[in-house]
Structure 1
Amino acid sequence: MKSAMVEKEGFAALVLRLRSEGINDLDLLTAVEQTPRSLFVPPQYADQAYSSRSIPIECGAFMEGADLAVRLLAHLHVKPGQRVLEIGTGSGFMSAVLGRLSERVMSIDRYKTLVTAAQRRLDNLGLRNVVLRQADGSHGLTGEGTFDRILSTAAFPTMPRFFAEQLVSGGVLLAPLMTGEESCIIVRLTKTGSRFDREDLFEVPYLPLVPKMASFL
């Protein structure tokens, strides 16, 4: 882990960039500050923990840049007392921030290696309201009831159907949707009764979702 001073400087620089984008939610920024990103990046990339660059992690996955991670969380509008489903645990950074903002987080990833490493980091931070599970995220997470918020960090080829049953009325889904072979955009769906309002937000560098659990990683 980087020194406290370097961590503090990295966070301060991030806050300045986020505020220039109009992101100044105090609860969100406090949750990010309480979740040192240097704990979640591979040691060789520690000096880039708060940069806007994507960072490679195990299993051929990557950790989104700090700016994008917080921007996504800002668009999700998580509130205290809510239940959140995250599809794509990755490093566990967003899982941890979501845990500080909500009542309970269920986070799934197809790679056991990523789930195990993320669990270790969450344990070190003392976060007990985040449950990690190795699972196929193609159909959300069945058998766990409904969620107030669903966030995916793997891109779907078409808008997924599971959210209709797994989102509460008033719930929000934030997910990347493929728009070409190598391009995708973040789509936000808000459920009102049986109706869904769609907003196309911005392009993101996410990889297509791979179905089924990984057997060897």
Structure 2
Amino acid sequence: MKSAMMEREGFAALVLRLRSEGISDINLLTAVEQTPRSRFVAHHLAEHAYSSRTIPIECGSFLEGADLAVRLLHRLRIGAGQRVLEIGTGSGFMTAVLGRIVERVISVERYKTLVEEAQTRLDQFSIRNVILRQGDGSNGLPGEGTFDRIIATAAFPAIPKTFTEQLVHNGILMCPVMVDDERCVMVRLTRTGSRFEREDLFEVPYLPLTPHIASYL
């Protein structure tokens, strides 16, 4: 009972903060509400699940703050019928929210532990339109065709050309790009034919991407 109340109160507080930023997409907020964030963190950190702070998870990774997670999905402009590629599954929270809205999600993660735990959570929520893969996401996902939306949650020195090649006409790519040794900014590219419109959105706390599949974990 206490945990359910904490979940409701945390979500309500999050919605108020998001609305102050102009984020009120009912489909997105409903998908977030249906995906309890406390299920994606360790039990002793559940009280922070809806806060704006980053939360440590397994394999030295972290769950981005609730505000940032929803802000990113809002800026990605997701909707029904889309095919989405996610680089960096992490806890699986954004993966699950995406799965509630779009047609198909393929998510790539280098850590086997994170893939297995995210799959367990997706199964608990009966989300069946998501494919999780342990793999090296540094070049996107060659051989899987194109995507309407691509989002990465690990930083790159520059946007990989292979990502842009896997984006459809009118598709959107969001990728953190390092601006110096300690800071990175979320970049949004919108493709129109062979042209790309770039927008530098805001700084994000993501770490530089580590290539290759993890040998352990």
2: distance between equivalents of 1:91 and 1:2? 23
Q: 1:164 deviation in Å?
A: 2.4
Q: 1:163 deviation in Å?
A: 2.0
Residue identity in the other structure for 1:193 = G
User: Where does residue 179 of structure 1 map in the other structure?
Assistant: 179
User: Where does residue 154 of structure 2 map in the other structure?
Assistant: 154
* Secondary structure of 2:128's aligned partner: coil
2: distance between equivalents of 1:128 and 1:95? 12
User: Where does residue 24 of structure 2 map in the other structure?
Assistant: 24
Q: 1:2 deviation in Å?
A: 6.3
TM-score w.r.t. the length of structure 1 is 0.98
2: distance between equivalents of 1:170 and 1:67? 26
* Secondary structure of 1:17's aligned partner: helix
**Post-superposition, which runs of at least 4 consecutive aligned residues in structure 1 deviate over 4 A?**
none
Q: Which runs of 5+ in 1 are unaligned?
A: none
Q: 1:42 deviation in Å?
A: 1.2
1: distance between equivalents of 2:168 and 2:103? 15
Q: 1:84, 1:102 within 8 Å by CA — same for their partners in 2?
A: yes
2: distance between equivalents of 1:22 and 1:164? 29
* Secondary structure of 1:118's aligned partner: helix
Residue identity in the other structure for 2:129 = N
Residue identity in the other structure for 2:79 = K
Residue identity in the other structure for 1:165 = E
Q: 1:41, 1:49 within 8 Å by CA — same for their partners in 2?
A: yes
User: Where does residue 36 of structure 1 map in the other structure?
Assistant: 36
Matched, 1:109 2:72: no
2: distance between equivalents of 1:45 and 1:192? 43
TM-score w.r.t. the length of structure 2 is 0.98
User: Where does residue 14 of structure 1 map in the other structure?
Assistant: 14
Change (3 A) 1:2 1:157: farther
Q: 2:81, 2:103 within 8 Å by CA — same for their partners in 1?
A: yes
1: distance between equivalents of 2:45 and 2:156? 28
Q: 1:94 deviation in Å?
A: 0.1
Matched, 1:124 2:108: no
The number of residue pairs the alignment matches comes to 217
1: distance between equivalents of 2:92 and 2:189? 24
2: distance between equivalents of 1:2 and 1:143? 47
Q: 1:109, 1:115 within 8 Å by CA — same for their partners in 2?
A: yes
Q: 1:31, 1:101 within 8 Å by CA — same for their partners in 2?
A: yes
2: distance between equivalents of 1:48 and 1:206? 19
2: distance between equivalents of 1:181 and 1:75? 25
Alignment map for 1:86-101 (pairs within 5 Å): 86-101=86-101
161-170 or 111-120, which deviates more: 161-170
Q: 1:143 deviation in Å?
A: 1.4
Q: 1:2, 1:38 within 8 Å by CA — same for their partners in 2?
A: no
2: distance between equivalents of 1:198 and 1:46? 37
2: distance between equivalents of 1:3 and 1:71? 25
Tell me the C-alpha RMSD between the 2 structures. 1.0
